Amino acid sequence: MSVTYLDAIREAQAKALASHPGVFIYGQDVALFGGAFKATKNLLQQFPGRILDTPISEDAMVGAAIGAAAEGMRPIVEMQFADFSTVGFNQIVNHAATLFWRTGVPCPITIRLPSGGTMGSGPFHSQMMETVYAHYPGLVVMTPATVEDAYSMLLEAVLEIDDPVIFCEHKMLYYHLKAPALPTVALPAKHARIARHGKHATLATYSAMVHEALLASQQLATEGFEIEVVDLRTVKPLDTDTLLASVARTGRLLAVGESFPWGGVTAEVVSRAADEGFALLDAPPRRLNAKDTPVPYHPNLWTAHRPSANSIAAALRDLLRS
């Protein structure tokens, strides 16, 4: 018996629905159909009246969730693809994210973003949006990399966090990433995690790139280098303490992200290391991101567009030589 990353997301929602009467799911094709990726499959039967199909109206979906949250509900909004959340961007960053600050009324909504690239998905079904949302005050941005985190962090987002959470779940991990069982204990979402211990360089990353980073670290291990992989788990807030503690052990830092290269999480990681941990560094900190073009369609282009185990390994070798 094993549990996939997608199962974990479905089970977390089922548990949240069972635990709190204020939880409901609002999104396109989520009810009878069970969601474009089946993340809400069979939930309608278990929780009738609480899984609601919406028109194709991302702005209004988030707006309605904000209103319901102001009334004490804890809605989960499923965006069909992270890319489409841009249509609801205004409600997310200007309304949900400002509500508590402006009025003192909390806005506990969880917006699920099926994120990241899969082969053949092209420019509008592949994007990573964490960088964009992390920029705005008032939002919590989670980027789980494991089955266990997909479950426990989603539960924490829906039931425990009283603020808008942008939950970036990676589509590439949905079906293939498996764990023996759902977790029974959880590390709070705000903490980063050491996914692999090492001493020669710190590789800070998140979401699906954690798995590419671990593969790259295995390559480097055969060359005699022990890479410490830090899984950031949540990019806003960013666990700078865990990051800097790792940099203190290794003296070198590579930050890897699947999103576009201008600014973003990797830039923030490098900036914090340079600002707060300059004396810990033995070499200039480095970043590796996707290329500065839209996400391409063809597999030949797509595999070269995003960081991979090989390109990460190459970047690590450069870093270790510097």
Partner 1 sequence: MAQTAFLESLPQSASQTKLPVESALDESWRDLYLKAFRFMQRARVIEDKLASLYRSGKITGGCYVGRGNEAVAVSAGIALNKGDVFAPLIRDQAGRLAYGESPADAFRTYLGSRLGPMRGRDGNVHRGRPAEGYLAMISHLGAMVSAATGMLLGRRLRGEPTGIAIVTLGEGATSTGAFHEGLNLAAVEKLPVVVVVSNNLYAYSTPNSRQFACESLVHRARGYGVRGWDVDGTDLNDCLKKITAAAQDARQTGLPQLVVATLLRLSGHGEHDDAFYVDATLKTLPVARDCLAVAEEFILQTNLADWGEILEWKEEAKREVESILAEVQREPVPDPFEERWCCLATPGLCEGIDGV
Total of residues contacting partner 1 (CB under 8 A)? 54
- The minimum distance between CB 74 and partner 1, in angstroms, equals 10
Q: What phi and psi, each to the nearest 5 degrees, are found at residue 26?
A: -130, 120
* Selected binder of partner 1 within 68, 82, 158, 172 (CB under 8 A): 68
* Selected binder of partner 1 within 19, 21, 181, 310 (CB under 8 A): 21
Q: What phi and psi, each to the nearest 5 degrees, are found at residue 152?
A: -75, -35
Coil/strand/helix, residue 100: helix
Which residues make Cβ contacts (< 8 Å) with residue 123, sequence separation at least 6? Answer: 294, 295, 296, 297
The smaller minimum CB distance to partner 1, of residues 55 and 224, is found at: 55
71 binding partner 1? (CB under 8 A) = yes
* Selected binder of partner 1 within 163, 169, 231, 258 (CB under 8 A): 163
The candidate with the shortest Cα–Cα distance to 285, out of 274, 295, 296, is 274
Among the listed residues 125, 170, 211, 305, the single catalytic one is 125
Coil/strand/helix, residue 117: coil
65 binding partner 1? (CB under 8 A) = yes
What is the pattern of x (binds partner 1, CB under 8 A) and - over residues 190-229?
x---------------------------------------
270 binding partner 1? (CB under 8 A) = no
**Alpha carbon of 322 to those of 42, 46, 142, 163: distances in Å?**
53, 57, 32, 42
Tell me if residue 191 is catalytic. Answer: no
C-alpha to C-alpha distance for 317 and 322, rounded to whole angstroms: 9
Q: Is the peptide bond before 237 cis (omega within 30 degrees of 0)?
A: yes
62 binding partner 1? (CB under 8 A) = yes
* Selected binder of partner 1 within 63, 183, 251, 294 (CB under 8 A): 63
What is the pattern of x (binds partner 1, CB under 8 A) and - over residues 32-51?
-----------------xx-
**Tokens standing for 130?**
């964490």
Helices 309-321 and 209-222: angle between axes, nearest 10 degrees: 50
- The minimum distance between CB 107 and partner 1, in angstroms, equals 8
- The minimum distance between CB 235 and partner 1, in angstroms, equals 11
Burial label, 184 (beta-carbon count in 10 A; 0-12, 13-18, 19+): exposed
- The minimum distance between CB 98 and partner 1, in angstroms, equals 7
β-sheet bridge partners, residue 114:
169
- Residue 114: CA count within 13 A, CB half-sphere: 26
Residues of span 89-108 touching partner 1 by CB under 8 A? 90-91, 94-95, 97-108
Q: Which of these ranges, 86-94, 114-122, 246-254, 285-293, lies near partner 1 under the rule CB under 8 A? A: 86-94
Q: Which segments of the chain does DSSP mark as H helices, in order?
A: 5-19, 43-46, 58-70, 89-90, 97-103, 130-134, 147-155, 209-222, 240-250, 264-276, 299-305, 309-321
The smaller minimum CB distance to partner 1, of residues 19 and 57, is found at: 57
The smaller minimum CB distance to partner 1, of residues 67 and 284, is found at: 67
- The minimum distance between CB 181 and partner 1, in angstroms, equals 28
The contact set with partner 1 (CB under 8 A) reads: 21-22, 24, 49-50, 54-55, 57-73, 87, 90-91, 94-95, 97-108, 137-138, 140, 160-163, 190, 236-240
Residues belonging to the active site: 125
